[in-house]
A and B are shown apart, each in its own frame.
Chain A
Amino acid sequence: MSKLLSVSGLKVGFGRGDALRPVVHGVDFDLAAGETLAIVGESGSGKSVTALSINRLVDYGGGRILDGRMDFLTAGGAVINLATASDRRMEKIRGGEIGMIFQEPMTSLNPVLTIGEQISEAFRLQRGLTGQAARAATLEALERVRIADAARRLGYYPHQLSGGMLQRVMIAMALATNPRLLIADEPTTALDVSVQAQIMALLAELRRETGTGLIFITHDMGLVAGIADRVMVMKEGQVVEQGPLDRILDHPDHPYTQHLLKAVPHFSGGRHVRRDHRRASAGETTPTLKVEGMTVRFPATAGLLRRSIGAIHAVESVDFDVMPGETLAIVGESGSGKSTTARALLGLVKPSRGTFSVLDERPANRRKPVQMVFQNPYASLNPRLDVESLLAEPVLASGERVDAAVRARMAALLERVGLPANSIRRYAHEFSGGQRQRLCIARALMVNPAVLVLDEAVSALDVSVQAKVLDLLIDLQNEMKLAYLFVSHDMAVVERIAHRVAVLYAGRIVEIGAAQAVLSSPQHAYTRRLIAAVPTMERRREIFELDTATIPTLLRPPGYEPPQDHWRVCGEDHQVRIEGDPYKDQNHVADARR
């Protein structure tokens, strides 16, 4: 195989003069035609900057190539150095020879142009096609990424399509002119697990069909295993290790690679669940949190007069309980109602019906026995308050004064969650993401709660930070006998922390039981599909199945009541919903409409 791209001594920096800040310090790698290289690293590793340097988009972000060569073999057979090529030349290479797809499909497409106009622009710019020829080519490009009803979709604007659909449009656009190299910068990070699986499958198929080289940027080792031929691991702007996929995954040399592979959560089909808690049988202990028939419906309106057309059944009669010292993970994809369930427990949304009770056996319990840690530690701390004020808020809110005892508790908790003692006078922006989330945990613990609701509490963090925060959470739980309700979409993280798992789909629990049982032998069709979509280390270069099932609408006509639940018990602690006749359900909807 011939070399498609050969990068040597690449250095990239931002700013000029005294303010020059080098970000990439000398990267070398080769890519053969048709080969896939995965660049793996966490935020700040320089992986994205490296990618953006190859097609020189980095120039427009304030960056500059300081040194090094990037020799690229063009379709015409000439070798040119991309590091020094003129802007004119680069315009022909970008799009023509090197395509690129980005992390956020929602913002990466122009909101005021139809997707047809945006794809055909690629043909127009690189092939000079216009009119009917461009339209035909665009249609073909959309069909190639398996978009059904492509002719009609051409006239759609980006906001009318889902994230997964838009990412396919992006891929169609990047591959429109058969580039010899495709750069994918975290293309699935913003998407749900099952959509991620579809996009990965599509990428793998298209790569085979077109023989294009692929540079795949990611933080997720599980995805790497599925698609890469070679792997390059980056940290703080430097390459720590590179080599063939199997060698890197099975015999990593560098401690950082070993850390990424071992310490970081990876999904392993329920083999590594926690075993530090035995669920007491009913009657032996009373649960700390008991939720019965929790239902949240939002009124839905339409038209100018905001006529009621029914309700969004976001959460539909959900029951579960959590024992002291136990973690129940609620898993599901966006729109499944998992966050709404969590927010209902905190009083942030009003349940339409259902009850929950919290039993706190300890003396001197405070008014709010349920506390919550939010997903985004950057948004959940008021930037204008210092740490002392942040930690004081729950105390003040429960009607108490901040006295010496409270201050002592602040100091103790800060130390316990691993923050420096001098933190108390600092502001949120002075801390890293992981530290902020520790701060949020300390804040939630200030009033000594019995239940901690963790809403995607580690999703916004870097993978290696995730592991440390999870360890902290596990230690705290064991010390304080806290009950955790852990809401997450990330199966790998769930496997690390959950004792039990409840799978939420379209607002209802479809399966619930011991983590080991649910993750290793899922019974419900949806759970199976969800788990099959999770990338793992074991499945190397596997071809995923293209599955385009979508979540059914949650909008129900006024007065609609869902049919009675039926459950099948399939283990000591494992239950699965038996789905009724789907046609019957549909008729019901139709009746109510009439």
Chain B
Amino acid sequence: MNYLIRRLVTFPLVMFGVSVLVFVAIRLVPGDSITAMLGTEAGLLTPEQRQSLAVYFGLDQGWFSQYWRWLSGVFSGNLGISVTYGKPVLDVILERFPLTLELAVLAMVIALGIGLPLGVFAATRNEKRSDLAVRIFAMIGQSTPSFVIGLLIIFALSAGFGILPAMGQFVPFLEDPLGNLSQLILPAMTLGLSFTASVTRISRSAVLDVLGDDYVRTARAKGAPKARVIWRHALPNALIPVVTLSGVEFGYLLGGAVLVEQIFALPGLGRLVLDAILQRDYALVQGSVLFVALNFMIVNLLVDLTYVMLDPRIRLGGRA
């Protein structure tokens, strides 16, 4: 249990680092924030207006007290106001998050559902023709950027069938499940394909690695049939790298898939950050990037929890 507690202790530490990084990055942007915020309109301000705005945003104070104000705001759920949307940053983020979350979950379901069995299968067929086919598929899948896959899918659909993917306003699953799925199926497949490729590769090599271990030989010496050797003895020991990879990829997907959202014109978190950067909406950049990092850390913690469940050596520590 110590392991998990230790990870819990580093959690706020890393989050603190993340918040400092985000905060400092924003302050490093060249030019003053008020000009950046208001764009050309800033030229119309009188020095007095400028000064009162600076006081209003706390910009007249030192970095440290600015950081402190921001951080205490974060703890009370106040991430500031988005200039572009004229709404609290948190509200804007939470509007976008369901789509991103659903997309990430769908991609992971596809990846684990296809990649894991495929990888295990390839490992048991080591060096045979079917193994080679799986490896080529995985290799190509991993080598194609997801936005290229997305472009090719759109192209194939429009050139071959004359259909265009459903775009526009996001339809929540609970309101219209079918509409929702028909909207998300293509982007989910796009994201799922590269994800599947990596899951296939890592599960193949992890199982292959474990199949050479001594305890697998012991299981065979007991007379365990092939399927039992693989599913009962090898796979549980091979899962840790698979969980690690899936966790990292899932965590990153929760940060939004900027490129795929761009191609399919989906209003997800990734595009929110991109637009915020392009429009210099710094409160939104700051808030959403922090949100993304927090998501990633939470997923990491869940991955650690899975390790603990999978491996008694982590759960119980060394010899008592």
Contacts and interface: CB of A to CB of B under 8 A. Distances in A.
- The short answer to whether A and B are in direct contact, CB under 8 Å, is yes
Interface of A: 55, 57, 60-61, 87, 90-96, 99-100, 102, 104, 107-114, 118, 121-122, 125-126, 157, 159-162, 170, 173-174, 303-304
Interface in B36-92: none
A57 B233 contact: no
B230 to A, nearest CB: 12
Interface string B197-228: 00000000000000001110111111111101
B220 A60 contact: yes
Nearest to B213: A107
Given A159-B313, A304-B6, A111 B237 contact: yes
Given A93-B223, A104-B214, 9 more contacts: A55-B221, A91-B225, A102-B217, A107-B214, A108-B214, A111-B313, A121-B224, A122-B222, A125-B223
Nearest to B2: A304
B221 A110 contact: no
B278 interface: no
Tell me the interface secondary structure of chain B in the complex.
Answer: helix
Interface size class of B (residues with CB under 8 A): 20 to 34
A114 to B, nearest CB: 8
Contacts of A121: 219, 222, 224, 232
A57 B221 CA distance: 7
B313 A95 contact: no
A102 B218 contact: yes
B319 A160 contact: yes
A99 B220 CA distance: 10
Nearest to B218: A108
Given A93-B223, A159-B319, A112 B312 contact: yes
B177 interface: no
B311 interface: yes
Interface string B233-254: 1001100000000000000000
A94 B222 contact: yes
Contacts of B222: 94-95, 121-122, 125-126, 173
B2 to A, nearest CB: 6
A157 B313 contact: yes
A126 B222 CA distance: 8
B166 interface: no
Nearest to A59: B220
A157 B226 CA distance: 24
Contacts of A173: 218, 222
Interface string B283-320: 00000000000000000000000000011110010111
B5 interface: yes
A125 B221 CA distance: 11
Nearest to A110: B215
Given A91-B223, A122-B222, A159 B312 contact: yes
Q: Which of A57, A104, A109, A111 has the most CB of B within 10 A?
A: A111
Contacts of A96: 223
A170 B313 CA distance: 19
Contacts of A118: 218
Contacts of A126: 222-223
Contacts of B316: 157, 159-160
